[in-house]
Chains A and B, each alone.
Chain A
Amino acid sequence: MAGPGKSPPQAVEGVPAGAAGPGAPDVDEWVPAAEFLRKLEYLRVVSRRLHTGRFAALQRSRKLGSGIDFADHRPYTPGDDFKDIDWNLFGRLDRLMIRLAEEETELNLYLLVDRTASMGFGTPSKALYAARVASALAYVALAHLDRVHLFPFGADLLPPLHPPRHKAQVVNVYRHLASTGVGPEGDLAAPLRSFAGVARSRGVAVVVSDFQKPWREGIDLLRFRRFDVALVHVYAPEEDPEVLASTMRRGQEVLIRGAEGGRPLRVRLGDRDLRRYAEVFAAHGEGLSSYARAHNLFYAHARSDHPFEELVLETFRGGRLLG
């Protein structure tokens, strides 16, 4: 939704400018470079599982059919297309055999983007960073005719977006995120359970969140539903223990108030508290990473002031989320 009085930014190759809704990442702030978009077009979303899509596309699938890559033979049965008969084999064996190939179908990319209040924190905000990540992934998928499903969530699922398969739809993805307000805080289980109820096809489920909430149950549910799960952990620079230690004055009494509400804490911060924070922060990231390793999931974490292009082109490729 374009905000009143906003002037449209300069469009860059299929990514027209847009505007953000209140409390949401400003779409004006993200105008990816054409060079970056060209690089994205060389990539594709890689799934660690084979999924069956409904429409032909460029992804390998379990379906054996009209693809290029040989998969198997089977005896001819009446009604089979003659062009699938392996005549070379008939010459050697004198039997009519049908050549089977892996059918290339579309891939379902589910982008589950955290839109809770805590994501609005940081400079730049985690929500903005998450929106850029989601948009970039959507662009890659759409460029390869894959199916993109955008599911913003707060305490529960927010209105989803199922854009048509065209890379220009990435703008709508970003606008949709921008227009989605910040939702109430909650754990990941409820929205992901709702997601599992509505997602009819399996595919790659990318969860972009700060995970500052109970997350294990929700991710377990996705795994149980055989989604290829990828975790993108975003945190703000202000949450970095080193940055926090450099900005907090020791011995100062502070009132810690959560952006998402809750009971504020009044404490006098000392070195011990800051050390404890660093331990908790590191344990949180390590918990996510260990979980991902244990279950063969993709995991990446990024600070919201980290160069976005680097995350997509290097980290995502290195982790085989993109190939």
Chain B
Amino acid sequence: MDFRALDPSQVYGLAAAAAAVAVLLFLLRPRPKAVVVPSMFFWDQVVSRRRDPRWREALALVLQVLALAAMAFALGDPAPRDDPGEAASAAGRPVRPADRVAVVDLSPSLDARGADGRTRLDAVRDALLRDVNLLADGERLALVVAADRGRVAVPLTSDVRRLALALRSLRPGLARADVPGALAAASALPGLGERPAEVRLYTDGDAPQPPSLPAGARYVLHPVGEPLDNLAVTALDARASEGLPAQHEALVRVRSFASRPAEATLSIETAREVLGSQRLRLAPGETVERVYRFFPRGDETLEAALRDVAFEGDGGGDALAGDDRAYAFLQPLSPARVLLISRGNLYLEKALALIPGLAVTRVPAGPAAESELAAGGADLAFLDGWAPGRPPRIPSIYFNPPPGSASGFAVLRRVETPVTTDWALDHPLLRHLMLRDLNIALTSVFEPRPGDTRLVGTAGGPIALARDLSGTPVVAFGFDLGDSDLPLRVAFPQLVYNAVTWAREGRAVGGAPGRTWLARDLVPVGGTGAAVARLVPWTGGKDEAAVDGGADGEGGDAEAHRWSRPRPTGDGVARIEAPRLGFLSVGAGEAARPLAVNLFDPEESDLRRVPVREGVDPAAAEGPPLPRPHREEPVAPWLLLSALALGVLLVEYAVGAR
């Protein structure tokens, strides 16, 4: 008999120690209290048919030892010893290959948990550990992992301890598994093909093309896992919202990869607080998008989390935890500022005062206005009956620019009570406005230039034009507000609001502190691959993250360098895989580049697919069956032993003189 959890010596030692303790306790058991009676005349009649309890004690001791031994054996997780060659021959199958190569898919979906709480990778690990424990004399096993690239973890060896250690250190990655690369690495293993060999691929994805193996080696595909239901956050992004006051606008997309209706609580959080949560119901395959707007509070990060996921029916939980959270950086919002250059215009002042979150600077026409315009600190300037000496460098709106001024808008004539004929209502400035019955006492008619947008026209020419001056949008209205009934209309505040939002377009936000990155994409770290780089948790600009120079990652602490060895790619930029999801930083100091790493990979989140055996080598059908996880065995020996121990303990309780 073999043991999967403990060495046989440990099992036998444990059983012997337990038996020794039981015997010791038996020897040290409290002796009965001696009671002296005058004669046994009465007591012989009282307990005449009772047997001496010593035989019961002896029998109880034997039963205790038996139960303890059974428990010790159960702890060892026994497996019946089977001769692979003999068993295979008896079944008419080929003899088990002497060399076996296990290629393990380490894609994120291997972290999916089944109803029993064990991940797919756990099942693979258990199966391989069992295979390792059953390794016969002369047999060798190799371990190749398919992470961001295929690599040989353990070459062909009979060292059971090394193999077990390597198997226990396996962790699912974040990048898509390079299965073809891993199969290629397996094919190129030294010594493969010298004896009958087998390359087994453990994957929950689609079957790749069978590798070209050396003669004498065969390829076997072992599908892993079973269909699971999963909900995932497939998108999270944040931007500044349109309009005023300035707000953040976040888009969250949640998708159901389940075959049953599901419910979950979607929570939007910053590092400091929960902005809101909402209970979602999703039909199978449904995608739900939610947009959240919120005022800036100085936060730099945003997270979306799915919690309390429940599926209809048994209500089982979410299978993959990695895609239940998403991360994004928030762009800092700049306040809206308007420069009002006028000799006094209550219409404009009141209309601007209606807009929330707007900072208005009133400047009288003159040199001070010139300097304010030159400073360029405002999003928009209203120039009321005045024009600067040179064109402004910020978006500006003229009302009744003086003819012949440096505004650049040439005046053809002055017209009294013009009849407006056309309006460019699709222009952002005139959105939602109706100016058909606009009454104007006196206005200038402009001479349009090529590229100008005619906003309001009359039969004699445009009285409002929009122009782009070297990237700076400028609008001119040919009439004074006081010479028209425009300020008296309900459209006027909307016109002013449109003007501010139109001017802030593209200027509302500063640069984001970091960018969103997909876990399946390797992060460029620069260099040629000779440096060892690492991603560290982002600490809001105070991190001590570094790009370490030095060794190329060979040797040393394998776990520490596992994620830090840059991988040269075709564009000459070295890249590395993110070690985890969340906010990370690569580089140090000023050169630090924060990243919000998300899974956002439907291929990994969709766990409903049943693995298929496409592309299996025909010989695979004749191969040994997949070592199944223990839970799938009809009746596990340890379970039988535990039941035996329980039964023996019950008998012992009945037999013991208690």
Q: Which residues of A contact B (CB under 8 A)?
A: 117-122, 126, 185, 210, 212-213, 236, 238-239, 248, 252-260, 262-263, 265-268, 273, 276-277, 280-281, 284
Asked if A253 and B39 sit within 8 Å, CB to CB, the answer is no
Instruction: State whether the Cβ of B35 lies closer than 8 Å to any Cβ in chain A.
Output: yes
Instruction: State whether the Cβ of B53 lies closer than 8 Å to any Cβ in chain A.
Output: yes
What CA separation (Å) do A65 and B640 show in the bound complex? 100
Residue of A119, A238, A265 with most partner-chain B CB within 10 A = A265
Residues of B within 8 A of A284 (CB): 41-42
Asked if B33 and A277 sit within 8 Å, CB to CB, the answer is no
Asked if B33 and A212 sit within 8 Å, CB to CB, the answer is no
A292 to chain B, nearest CB (A): 19
Instruction: State whether the Cβ of B1 lies closer than 8 Å to any Cβ in chain A.
Output: no
Find the B residue at minimum CB distance from A274. B46
Asked if B657 and A281 sit within 8 Å, CB to CB, the answer is no
Asked if A256 and B37 sit within 8 Å, CB to CB, the answer is yes
Asked if B42 and A126 sit within 8 Å, CB to CB, the answer is no
Return the CB mask of B30-44 against A: 1 if under 8 Å, else 0. 011111111111111
A287 to chain B, nearest CB (A): 12
Residues of B within 8 A of A280 (CB): 42, 45-46
Find the B residue at minimum CB distance from A281. B42
Asked if B38 and A252 sit within 8 Å, CB to CB, the answer is no
Instruction: State whether the Cβ of B54 lies closer than 8 Å to any Cβ in chain A.
Output: yes
Find the B residue at minimum CB distance from A239. B38
What CA separation (Å) do A259 and B39 show in the bound complex? 6
Residues of A within 8 A of B53 (CB): 253, 266-268
Instruction: State whether the Cβ of B50 lies closer than 8 Å to any Cβ in chain A.
Output: yes
What are 19 A-B contacts defined by CB distance under 8 Å? A117-B39, A118-B39, A122-B38, A213-B39, A252-B33, A253-B33, A253-B657, A255-B35, A258-B38, A258-B39, A262-B39, A265-B43, A266-B54, A267-B53, A268-B53, A268-B657, A276-B45, A280-B42, A280-B46
Instruction: State whether the Cβ of B619 lies closer than 8 Å to any Cβ in chain A.
Output: no
B42 to chain A, nearest CB (A): 5
Asked if A265 and B42 sit within 8 Å, CB to CB, the answer is no
Asked if B38 and A266 sit within 8 Å, CB to CB, the answer is no
Residue A254 contacts which of B35, B45, B54 (CB distance < 8 angstroms)? B35
Asked if B46 and A260 sit within 8 Å, CB to CB, the answer is no
What CA separation (Å) do A212 and B38 show in the bound complex? 9
What CA separation (Å) do A81 and B147 show in the bound complex? 146
Asked if B32 and A255 sit within 8 Å, CB to CB, the answer is yes
Residues of A within 8 A of B42 (CB): 212, 239, 277, 280-281, 284
What CA separation (Å) do A38 and B32 show in the bound complex? 51
Residue B52 contacts which of A122, A248, A266 (CB distance < 8 angstroms)? A266
What CA separation (Å) do A252 and B34 show in the bound complex? 11
Instruction: State whether the Cβ of B558 lies closer than 8 Å to any Cβ in chain A.
Output: no
Asked if B38 and A121 sit within 8 Å, CB to CB, the answer is yes
Asked if A262 and B40 sit within 8 Å, CB to CB, the answer is yes
Residues of B within 8 A of A254 (CB): 32-35
What CA separation (Å) do A119 and B41 show in the bound complex? 13
Majority SS of interface residues in chain A?
mixed
Residue of A267, A276, A281 with most partner-chain B CB within 10 A = A267
Residues of B within 8 A of A239 (CB): 37-38, 42
Asked if B38 and A119 sit within 8 Å, CB to CB, the answer is yes
What CA separation (Å) do A236 and B36 show in the bound complex? 13
Residues of B within 8 A of A257 (CB): 34-37
Instruction: State whether the Cβ of B115 lies closer than 8 Å to any Cβ in chain A.
Output: no
Asked if B38 and A253 sit within 8 Å, CB to CB, the answer is no
Asked if B32 and A213 sit within 8 Å, CB to CB, the answer is no
Asked if B47 and A253 sit within 8 Å, CB to CB, the answer is no
What CA separation (Å) do A260 and B36 show in the bound complex? 10
Asked if A256 and B35 sit within 8 Å, CB to CB, the answer is yes
A286 to chain B, nearest CB (A): 14
Find the B residue at minimum CB distance from A122. B38
Q: Which residues of B contact A (CB under 8 A)?
A: 31-47, 50, 52-54, 657
Residues of A within 8 A of B44 (CB): 265
A247 to chain B, nearest CB (A): 9
Asked if A277 and B43 sit within 8 Å, CB to CB, the answer is yes
Find the A residue at minimum CB distance from B50. A267
What CA separation (Å) do A278 and B45 show in the bound complex? 11
Residues of B within 8 A of A119 (CB): 38
What CA separation (Å) do A299 and B201 show in the bound complex? 100
If A120-B38, A256-B37 are given as contacts, then 15 extra A-B residue pairs at C-beta distance below 8 Å, sorted by A number, are: A121-B36, A126-B38, A212-B39, A212-B41, A213-B39, A248-B35, A253-B657, A257-B36, A258-B39, A259-B37, A259-B39, A263-B40, A273-B46, A276-B46, A277-B43
What CA separation (Å) do A260 and B37 show in the bound complex? 9
Residues of A within 8 A of B41 (CB): 118, 212-213, 284
Asked if A267 and B47 sit within 8 Å, CB to CB, the answer is yes
Asked if B36 and A259 sit within 8 Å, CB to CB, the answer is yes
Asked if B47 and A273 sit within 8 Å, CB to CB, the answer is yes
Residues of A within 8 A of B40 (CB): 256, 258, 260, 262-263, 265
Leading 9 A-B pairs by shortest Cβ distance: A121-B38, A118-B38, A212-B41, A253-B32, A118-B39, A258-B40, A212-B39, A255-B32, A254-B35
What CA separation (Å) do A229 and B326 show in the bound complex? 108
A244 to chain B, nearest CB (A): 9
Asked if A210 and B38 sit within 8 Å, CB to CB, the answer is yes
Residues of A within 8 A of B52 (CB): 266
Find the A residue at minimum CB distance from B31. A255
B41 to chain A, nearest CB (A): 4
Asked if A277 and B46 sit within 8 Å, CB to CB, the answer is yes
What CA separation (Å) do A10 and B177 show in the bound complex? 112
Residues of B within 8 A of A277 (CB): 42-43, 46
B576 to chain A, nearest CB (A): 71
What CA separation (Å) do A150 and B43 show in the bound complex? 31
Residues of B within 8 A of A265 (CB): 40, 43-44, 47, 50
A220 to chain B, nearest CB (A): 19
Residue B32 contacts which of A118, A212, A262, A266 (CB distance < 8 angstroms)? A266
What CA separation (Å) do A192 and B47 show in the bound complex? 30
Residues of A within 8 A of B32 (CB): 252-255, 266
B315 to chain A, nearest CB (A): 48
Residues of B within 8 A of A255 (CB): 31-35
A212 to chain B, nearest CB (A): 4
Find the B residue at minimum CB distance from A248. B35
B240 to chain A, nearest CB (A): 81
Residues of A within 8 A of B35 (CB): 248, 254-257
Residues of A within 8 A of B50 (CB): 265, 267
A123 to chain B, nearest CB (A): 12
Residue A185 contacts which of B39, B43, B45 (CB distance < 8 angstroms)? B39
Residue A121 contacts which of B34, B37, B54 (CB distance < 8 angstroms)? B37
Residues of B within 8 A of A262 (CB): 39-40
Find the A residue at minimum CB distance from B658. A268
Find the B residue at minimum CB distance from A119. B38
Residues of B within 8 A of A120 (CB): 38
Residues of B within 8 A of A236 (CB): 38
Residues of A within 8 A of B36 (CB): 121, 257-259
B519 to chain A, nearest CB (A): 66
Residues of A within 8 A of B47 (CB): 256, 265, 267, 273
What CA separation (Å) do A204 and B567 show in the bound complex? 123
Residues of A within 8 A of B39 (CB): 117-118, 185, 210, 212-213, 258-260, 262
What CA separation (Å) do A63 and B47 show in the bound complex? 54
Residues of B within 8 A of A213 (CB): 39, 41
B151 to chain A, nearest CB (A): 68
B540 to chain A, nearest CB (A): 69
